[in-house]
Structure 1
């Protein structure tokens, strides 16, 4: 009633007749332009828009010049900024008792249980953070005007008046992207709204039964605006504030759009923001109606749990689709976009019941050469369009020019988004129907997989849907409003542009032995490769990789880290045992390596990050390939990879240990020449591709490619000038003295040669530990590797090395390796070059977002 009377007073002050405005019904409270109807039967609420001639927003008269319109626009923004500050104070007041109630929940006499605390404050911290960011950005945009104009209509300074008279400041002030970002995250409000009734019920019951909570709930004080006065609220009244705010934001967008000239850069953006906000409110109504209309088994109701854009592959044809996950089914639709400010439409494609649905993450798809060239061409065109857009945004050019550039960029990104994904998720229904969805991000794929599996575990029976009605409701129910295009995101947010270095060191926290690897992904404009993964570790509870990656990024905001476990059986898919998303803040990242620990649930991954901001060169039309590694000096390969043991040696050795220790004659039985050639080509062109292929080829091909690598080194692993020294050391009669002499010769080897040799020796000793099964003794292994690792000097500048009989040469080669393998005090190898990291006493720990 107070809001109603305030509106009447406002209309009278504007000399608008209020004779036709009737009293609201007792069960209907009209506030801020939206009607909230509480029904006793359902104990639910609905939002519905009032007519366009809303009582608190009279139409603005058409003005001949833009200055009065811009002045009115500034008044709307200033008033909304003040109300936003009040709302933030109310949310802070609501969250004030959260810490104490959480602490009490763990005692013998809790005020509220842990579950009750979680229900009462559900999504409130997220709402606070969302509006805090929005308020901070909006206040910064308005600058001194937000500080000087505390109330609408306050006088500006002389300089500001001159700017406004010229219309420059009003035209240059853009806030549409901030409002668009705000409404694009209204999904947070959906969770709060769905939980609201449960939260209020707990507050009411506990207020009556628990005197400690009653005292708290009836005496919550909040600052009223910028002054020091405080307003007293009940707990229940504060819980209502977000419901009030979500409608008020829509009304402000309506008023702001009316007072924004069509030529203003904000006009099309505010149109889209208003459409999304209205769509969200309509979706709340639709969701409430759907819950009452469709009841599933076990008393559950059909609800929208998740939606997003994926690529649907059908007979090799790719199509971008909007996928909706309900509590009992998957609905795939085609989005037919409307004009700016108008509602989009959906067309039904297919649906699958969740009951009995089987999921399988298939192997990564391969691209044809034609597809590769199309992708690289798209990347180059996206990059060039991005460079074209930057000056337009910086100079606040005409809205039409900016909008034209954005649309062109969107089309390029849509083509890239449809063509580039390689990670398939196969869906198999008991009815025999199957569909394959493809994503670019393993993190996103896993999110979908977890969401679907969580619902299928409940074994929900399916109520056959009205496909037409369900598809038509998608416009109002959707939470994801747009495809994940970088060009649609608001400008000005913190992001990184330049070179991002990532080193994956190790992991801990596994409950059992397993071969694992780590996958890392970066977001932003995908002008360059954005995914990489380490090689597979041997079965260990504390695997170590020390593998470095370098990403060229533009607009990146998050680094996603996933840890995957490989099954013993090759046909089983890899299992994600933990994942996390790290926010990339350019103000925190440093040019020096910074070591930190990331929590991925039960697993913790230690990594290092560094960031070097700089302008990016255009992506090449020709796919960039790494330098070949076979036949190249081992020092140059190690330097290229930033390690002390080349990845080909580590990957092959660890793959042999993972599935070849029980193979009879491992390192003696040769594999097919085709497999060896394919692996060699893969290692010479793409380490990522080679690591993927290692898992599926015959393990004898893995051992064969390792032997081939050492045979094709232009210089043997043990320098040739040490051959005579090793031959003399073998003549020492005493075995202990001989071993000491042999070990001392290692210090004359270059660091890469020394550490690679030690790594190989430890690997061969682990192979020999299974000699009862694989029949490979230390002498057998020394016989296989000796001639590849140690060779006498060749003729150099006309001088011939000391003569060595061929039989004596082989004996020296085998005996040197055999002597090393017999050493019990063999030094451990270092696999990577220590980075210049900055760490505290304890590694900085990052929790998954």
Structure 2
């Protein structure tokens, strides 16, 4: 119940007592909302107390050996980076010694000796350890050693790998290394003197200052050059020895008890813990460290996020300083709020990648839906109690409010959202989840802006920095909407957002607009338009409907997908305030500036009491084999998105394709697109851009062919057949157009949209070999069928083809409407 405990901690930290033992908590709610979770223990990099657990984690031997190899490879990579840093630190030593005997020395001989004291010895110690460890980890040598121990055995590759990992012994290397940690004793005792010389010389000698602020070293697997300060490099050995205990602890924890290394690593862990405890008693190195250019550590941004780790999702407080990201857990000691260190990442070289999370399993979606329904019930009960008297009712109100807040924290932590992956050049990575795309974009911009101006600095005393978070934090509490008491400024009812078009893109792209609202988590608070066609003026005309309770703001984020680019690009964002006093029951047209792009949308608000949220998870309704009117109603459009998407893709790259709509695409690709359109529209549009264009045209034909009721209703077959017999071409055309106008709105506009597209295809018949008659032959039987089968099938086909052919030839064919006409009240820019 780790997550439930954390929820109570947060409430305590903000002055709200937890549910007492004599108060009954809804057992069904807790069972639904707060499952059993494993505690995720985050060790501080500065932890120096002996940390020997009673037994390693109870994983299977196979799992332990795999994790052990991951730890060992991580150690090897980290050692390589550390050696590069030591070599960079030693690079100017020879030149500084040479100038010490000249008339204009940068440093004296004694100062050079002090600054670089014990650094060469540390380099040699780690070089020997790195070389030995790398040799042990080479698969070919491990396999050879195994073969020597058991010649003649023939095993499969998986068993060979398991045995290689089992026989691999490195405990003696770590024990030998720990026994030489005395080399660090001299460096640590001398550290303060070395730093003092560096800082004084930076102030007095411009030559040394230039050197000390721009030392370059390769870092990471891609060997990217990273800029360091001299002071930061001097701190590297100090930081390295502090982390030795943690490295050994992780390695021992993932070593099976029967492994030859188990006892050796435990002894090495005891020795290094004892060594570091002694160092801590004497060390005076916890001073305030200056950053580059004389800046002190500065908090730029903070807020609550969800930290994604092995044990699950946990609510955490993230702090962005001028040189690092710090993640901490808010706890309460008695009534006083405190922070516990979780992890940190330096900003130098930090790489970011964001994405929308995939939908969870149906069972988990059901759990989210039930929690939302439970929250709705709690809010209704809370409002009823607050209308009553005082006394005993007040305790019930407090109990309901606490349970309500705990539910919202659970939803914030577990509802699918957006992930931000953070990759450090040291090889460490962390993933955090943000509650909205707008919030993610703000964090992303702030981190990228600061990391671009940041150089490697001295790692902080993380425990001290974590302790100071209480005083520095700007965000005091998680984003719980339930703690806001001024409900008079909230809106409750249906909010309609019609996203129409955008302009201002500098290059063609496929784009979508993500729309988010705040308020309670009873209903979906985030929706987005479909992906537009590749163009510089995207057109959606898509209506998004929100059920809102307690909403105050509307957030818009414009996202582009450029060709051959798998990463979505956030172009801009905007925020609209939802003032209930100025909200409108008629559509109101608004133009919003989202970065370089202007987005036109219309908004309408209809206040009304809300129905309880459904406990059935929302799933996308299928579009194939469903009446077209039903599909259009689900999408709030007049032309279904599948028709628009396929047409736009054909016009983007299929207009010159010979035999487009005549040559069939691969059946497997068409069926894959059909499945995608039925289950995940966003995935379907992505697939459209990568499959053969004939598969796109084939999908469009299949959609019309599988409609349970043809696009042109069967009851119109006889009237259309009779209209074809009219001799006068003008009268015939008028009759055909009258019958077209009499079709249902969705059928008529979809047919008009398709006809205009086919005319554009035929306009390039010299290239694609598709004339109007060819296109009518392809689409006629799919768009029109008689109410009953006729004896003369040839006559039936002739009518089908001729009807479409005459419509394609019509000179005054009306334009299609994509959405219903909006009764716009006013225009606002």
TM class by shorter chain equals 0.5 to 0.7
1:427 paired to 2:442: no
Give distance in 2, aligned partners of 1:436 and 1:664: 48
Structure 1 length as normaliser, TM-score? 0.58
CA contact (8 A) 2:305 2:435 kept: no
* Runs of at least 5 residues in structure 1 that lack an aligned partner in the other structure: 1-291, 796-800
3-state SS of the aligned residue for 1:537?
Answer: coil
- Return the offset for 1:768: 5.4
> In structure 1, what is the Cα distance between the partners aligned to 2:796 and 2:555?
52
Q: After alignment, is 398-407 or 359-368 more displaced? A: 398-407
In structure 2, the partner of 1:372 is 365
CA RMSD for the aligned pairs? 3.3
Query: What is the count of residue pairs matched by the alignment?
Result: 541
Residue from 708, 719, 723 that aligns with 2:713? 719
Q: Is the 8 A contact 2:408 2:521 kept in 1?
A: no
Match for residue 525 of structure 1? 520
1:730-751 deviations in Å (ceiling 9; x for gaps)? 6789999977775565334333
SS for the counterpart of 2:537 is coil
In structure 1, what is the equivalent of residue 534 of structure 2?
539
Aligned to 2:797: 810
* Alignment match, 1:449: 444
- 2:487 counterpart SS class: coil
Distance in 2 separating the partners of 1:296 and 1:676: 59
Matched, 1:644 2:638: yes
Q: Following TM superposition, by how much is the alpha carbon of 1:295 offset from its aligned partner in structure 2, in angstroms?
A: 3.2
- Specify the SS of the correspondent of 1:362: strand
Shift of 1:413: 1.3
Helix, strand or coil at the partner of 2:611: coil
Which structure 2 residues correspond to residues 346-365 of structure 1 after superposition, within 5 A?
Answer: 346-365=339-358
Alignment check: 8 A CA contact 1:534 1:545 kept: yes
Q: Which runs of 5+ in 2 are unaligned?
A: 1-286
Note if contact 1:421-1:439 (Cα within 8 Å) is conserved in structure 2: no
**1:420 Cα deviation from its structure 2 partner:** 0.6
- Cα distance in structure 2, aligned partners of 1:364 and 1:654: 27
Report the CA distance between 1:371 and its aligned residue. 1.2
The correspondence for 2:566, drawn from 562, 565, 572, is 572
Task: Report if aligned partners of 1:312, 1:437 keep a CA contact under 8 Å in 2.
Answer: yes
When residues 303 and 758 of structure 1 are mapped into structure 2, their CA distance, relative to the original with a 3 A threshold, is: same
**CA–CA distance in structure 2, aligned partners of residues 771 and 433 of structure 1:** 57
Residues 330 and 702 from structure 1, CA distance in 2 versus in 1: closer, same or farther, beyond 3 angstroms?
farther
TM-score scaled by structure 2?
0.59
> How do 1:26-175 residues align onto structure 2 when only pairs under 5 Å count?
none
Name the residue aligned to 1:243: none
Q: Does the 8 Å CA contact 2:780/2:800 hold for their aligned counterparts?
A: yes
In 1, Cα distance between the equivalents of 2:772 and 2:558? 35
Deviation digits for residues 498-525 of structure 1 (CA, Å, limit 9, x no counterpart) = 2212211222233333322211111111
Partners of 2:501 and 2:541 within 8 A in 1 = yes
Equivalent of residue 504 in structure 1, options 488, 499, 506: 499
1:763 to partner: Cα distance: 2.9
Give 2:300's aligned residue: 305
Aligned-partner Cα distance in 2 for 1:394–1:691: 51
In 2, distance between residues paired with 1:785 and 1:631? 17
| Residue equivalent to 2:487 | 492
- Whether contact under 8 Å (2:318, 2:326) holds in the other structure is yes
Q: Which residue pairs with 1:621 in the alignment?
A: 615
Matching of residue 602 in structure 1 with residue 596 in structure 2 = yes
Question: Could you tell me how far 1:833 is from its partner in structure 2?
Answer: 0.9
Corresponding residue for residue 468 of structure 1: 463
Compared CA separation, residues 642 and 572, structure 1 to 2 (3 A): closer
Q: Residues of 2 paired with 1:307 and 1:693: CA distance?
A: 38
Matches within 5 A, 1:214-229: none
Distance in structure 2 (CA, Å) of the matches to 1:316 and 1:672? 44
Q: Give, in angstroms, the shift of residue 821 of structure 1.
A: 4.1
CA 548–338 in structure 1, closer or farther in 2 if over 3 Å, else same = farther
Deviations 1:673-711 (A, max 9, x none): 666556545655676676677667776554443322211
Kindly indicate whether structure 1 or structure 2 has the higher relative contact order, using CA contacts under 8 Å at least 6 residues apart. Answer: 2
CA contact (8 A) 1:354 1:462 kept: no
**Which residue number in structure 1 is paired with residue 823 of structure 2?**
836
SS at 1:348 equivalent:
strand
Which residue of 2 is the match for residue 214 of structure 1? none
**Paired position in structure 2 for 1:404:** 399
Quick check: 2:323–2:454 contact (8 Å CA) kept in 1?
Answer: no
Secondary structure, aligned partner of 2:489: coil
Name 1:827's counterpart in structure 2.
Answer: 814
CA deviation vs aligned residue, 1:398-427 (integer Å, no higher than 9, x gap): 554443332212211111111113322222
Distance 1:604 1:752, change over 3 A: same
What is the CA deviation profile of residues 434-459 of structure 1, one whole-angstrom value per residue up to 9, with x for unaligned ones?
Answer: 22222231111111111111112224
Q: Any idea what SS the aligned residue of 1:323 has?
A: strand
In 2: Cα distance, 1:720 partner to 1:581 partner: 49
CA distance in 2, matches of 1:770, 1:314: 56
Taking the aligned partners of 1:437 and 1:468, their CA distance within structure 2 comes to: 21
- Rounded to whole Å, the distance in 2 between the matches of 1:678 and 1:469 is 56
Answer whether contact 1:765 1:821 (CA < 8 A) is retained.
Answer: yes
> Could you tell me how far apart the structure 1 residues matched to 2:325 and 2:762 are?
52
Contact 1:515 1:536 in 2 (8 A): yes
For residues 298 and 821 of structure 1, what CA distance do their matches in structure 2 show?
72
Deviation at 1:811, TM superposition (A): 4.3
Q: 1:557 aligns with which of 548, 552, 555?
A: 552
Check if 1:630 corresponds to 2:624. yes
Q: What residue is the counterpart of 1:191 in the other structure?
A: none
Within the candidate set 458, 470, 481, 2:453 is matched to 458
Instruction: Find the counterpart in structure 2 of residue 706 from structure 1.
Output: 700
Aligned equivalents of 2:768 and 2:322: distance in 1?
52
Whether contact under 8 Å (2:341, 2:466) holds in the other structure is yes
CA contact (8 A) 1:536 1:655 kept: no
- Matching of residues 232-271 of structure 1 within 5 Å: none
Q: Please point out which of 333, 349, 367 is paired with 2:328.
A: 333
> 1:629-778 to 2 correspondence within 5 Å?
629-658=623-652, 667-668=661-662, 676=670, 679-680=673-674, 683-684=677-678, 702-723=696-717, 743=737, 745-767=739-761, 778=772
Q: Does 1:383 align with 2:376?
A: yes
Residue 147 of structure 1 is matched in structure 2 by none
8 Å Cα contact 2:338-2:467 kept in structure 1: yes
Going from structure 1 to structure 2, the CA distance change for 1:330 and 1:778 (only over 3 Å counts) comes to farther
Contact 1:309–1:483, Cα closer than 8 Å, also in 2: yes
1:667–1:704 Cα contact (<8 Å) kept: yes
Cα shift readout 1:216-243 (whole Å, capped 9, x = no counterpart): xxxxxxxxxxxxxxxxxxxxxxxxxxxx
The secondary structure found in structure 1 opposite 2:439 is: helix
CA distance in 1, matches of 2:349, 2:623: 48
How far apart are 1:656 and its partner, in Å? Answer: 4.2
- CA deviations on 1:546-592 (whole Å, 9 max, x unpaired) are 211221111111111122212112x5222222211111111111233
Say if 1:438 and 1:634 are closer, same or farther in 2 by CA, change over 3 A.
Answer: same
1:583 to 577, 587, 600: 577
Distance 1:358 1:770 in 2: 47
CA contact (8 A) 2:362 2:617 kept: no
Q: How many Å separate the matches in 1 of 2:402 and 2:625?
A: 49
Q: Distance in 1 between matches of 2:430 and 2:694?
A: 36
2:587 aligns with 593
Report the Cα offset of residue 832 of structure 1. 0.9
Query: Closer, same or farther in 2 for the Cα pair 1:347/1:666, shift >3 Å?
Result: farther
Contact 2:508 2:562 in 1 (8 A): no
